[in-house]
Amino acid sequence: MLLQHPRVELRELYAFSQVGKHASELYPALDCDMIYKSYNEETESDIYFLALPHGEALQLVPALLQAGKTVIDLSGDFRLKSVIEHEQFYQQTKSPEAVMTYGMPELFGNEIKSVKAISNPGCFATSIILGAAPLLLGSERSLTVQAINCTSTSGISGAGRSSKTELSFSEMSENVRAYKVGVHQHTPEIMQALGTSATTPSFDFTFTPMIGALVRGIYSILHIQLDRPADREEIKQLYREFYRNAPFVNVCENMTEVKHVYRTNRCDIHIAHTGRSGSLVIVTAIDNLLKGAAGQAVQNMNIMLGIDETTGLS
């Protein structure tokens, strides 16, 4: 994306285990002969994207900000305001100052415009937050959310490129399994973005992450309990109004699928069902590598630079 972006120039690629290798060697589809270098606290570039294991960006970001650089971090190091929740869900310590603006353009676009550093949302979190936000954060809140039960299935790429037996073809082919039920690190991030917290929630929340036999994509099904019944047209209008200025959110008339958003920066949302008892089913689909990671990072960069947020992503 950055290679084809009309407003930026890709200057350097840094890595740890892949130092010395050409980008095209690791990713043959890329027309890029740049060589991965070891990072030695260089600050010659204007913008830095960090995609590191949790805990490592905490060591690098302060120096970059001190040098006046624009930073977009894709780890979970700076997402949570609560140190207690960070330590509980990431099993790592951090200082209370280690917080950056949460980079979800559809919710916090105005804040993103005025800062030099943002924390890019997690992939599961993106699919769930966008699916629930109109009910919890909209200006016309005539409905009260009492509970959300969410099941999200991710492609194998969500676990990264590291070799793991449980992610091998023989283990994952024709297979689906749940993991980190109730303790996934995106849980407090979701609750924080929706205006509450994991430790003192304003509604019951259950999150079951799953991994399935697909390479990329996240498919989330949100079972939401409201305080009163609402018909499908009412909910659909609420969502369309909330996302009227969001170019990458599509409130679909028909059921969405992972294939519909494959290799796009789009989030599809479908109002699947409304029940007589106030039950509601929302289905969302994103590409975990784009809207759930790199695509959203570029979208955030565009906003921070003051250019059209769709630049390089259409």
Q: Mind telling me the catalytic residues?
A: 123
DSSP tag of 197: -
Q: Is 186 left (phi over 0), alpha (psi -120 to 50) or beta?
A: alpha
Rounded Cα distance between 297 and 292, Å, is: 9
Rounded Cα distance between 49 and 166, Å, is: 29
Q: Name the residue type at position 244.
A: R
Listed in sequence order, the DSSP H helices in the chain are 23-26, 57-66, 83-90, 105-113, 123-137, 169-172, 186-193, 232-242, 258-261, 294-305
Rounded Cα distance between 264 and 199, Å, is: 34
Are the C-beta atoms of 29 and 6 separated by less than 8 Å?
A: no
Rounded Cα distance between 56 and 292, Å, is: 20
b or e along 269-290 (b: 16 or more beta carbons within 10 Å of the residue's beta carbon)? bbbbebeeebebebbbbbbbbb
Count CA atoms closer than 13 A to 50's CA, side-chain side. Answer: 27
